Amino acid sequence: MTFAATVLTLYPEAFPGPLGVSLIGKALAEKRWSLDTVQIRDFGDGPRRKVDDAPAGGGAGLVMRPDVAAAAIDSVPRNDRPLLFPSPRGKPFTQAMAREWSHGSGLVIFCGRFEGLDERVIEARQMIEVCVGDAVLMGGEVAAQLILEATVRLLPGVLGNELSATEESFEDGLLEHPQFTKPRVWEGRDTPEVLLSGDHAKVEAWRKAERRRITRARRPDLLGD
């Protein structure tokens, strides 16, 4: 079964964007996963295909209409795929979510624009609100790309080296240890001696201690102690 992504957007030209390059783009070309876009405006109201309107209660900006959003959503065969709505009010996106969704049949993602989406369609279609960072974007497109990139790279056969997906930040609840490569000395800075020792157990112990040290310093919330 191929992982199928469908993105509903007012800007289909933003896709595949970064999802079309490197190993993810290669996997797309090899049909290890698929990506479709749906132009929300095709479901807009009247000859001008209006998709938004003034917020009830007044105030600045425009809100995406529930009837238009629902018509666009209902045009997509769901096939058990979760329906996501990237939103600053959502649950923070995590590696665990990417891992879970990578085991499923795909994702349907509705990209908001303007001030957001009428609350009733979020409820009626049981959209899962997901936040990709405590900062406000112009629209959901970059958020959708972020969610898809993190999820698709976990599909079997997408990353060349399967191990590299299990030994990195977040997978064991810790941030990654520092990485070094050649040259051994650069601008007077040495590569840590232990990494050149060839002693695998020592290297592992050093990396683990570094993961703990860095996580404690930068993201103590991840340690949960």
One residue of 86, 98, 195, 206 binding ligand SAH per CB under 6 A: 86
Residue 1-30 contact track with ligand SAH, rule CB under 6 A, x = bound: ------------------------------
Q: Which is nearer to ligand SAH, 86 or 195 (CB)?
A: 86
Report, in Å, the least distance between residue 168 CB and ligand SAH: 23
Q: Which is nearer to ligand SAH, 87 or 215 (CB)?
A: 87
* Bond from prior residue into 183 cis (ω within 30 degrees of 0): yes
143 belongs to the binding site for ligand SAH (CB under 6 A): yes
Rounded to whole angstroms, how far apart are CA atoms 112 and 74? 16
Asked if 51 and 41 touch (Cβ cutoff 8 Å), the reply is: yes
116 belongs to the binding site for ligand SAH (CB under 6 A): yes
One residue of 133, 157, 178, 220 binding ligand SAH per CB under 6 A: 133
Count of residues engaged in binding ligand SAH, rule: CB under 6 A: 19
One residue of 140, 145, 154, 195 binding ligand SAH per CB under 6 A: 140
What does each C-alpha distance from 110 to 71, 117, 139, 176, 188 come to in angstroms? 12, 10, 10, 32, 50
The one-letter amino acid code at 116 reads G
CA quadruple 100, 81, 94, 25: dihedral sign: positive
Nearest Cα to Cα of residue 34 among 13, 7, 10, 8 = 7
Nearest Cα to Cα of residue 177 among 210, 199, 217, 215 = 210
One residue of 9, 87, 102, 215 binding ligand SAH per CB under 6 A: 87
One residue of 88, 104, 180, 219 binding ligand SAH per CB under 6 A: 88
112 belongs to the binding site for ligand SAH (CB under 6 A): yes
Show Cβ contacts of residue 216 under 8 Å, excluding neighbours closer than 6 positions: 223
109 belongs to the binding site for ligand SAH (CB under 6 A): no
Asked if 151 and 105 touch (Cβ cutoff 8 Å), the reply is: no
**Which residues contact ligand SAH (rule: CB under 6 A)?**
86-89, 111-113, 115-117, 131-133, 135-137, 139-140, 143
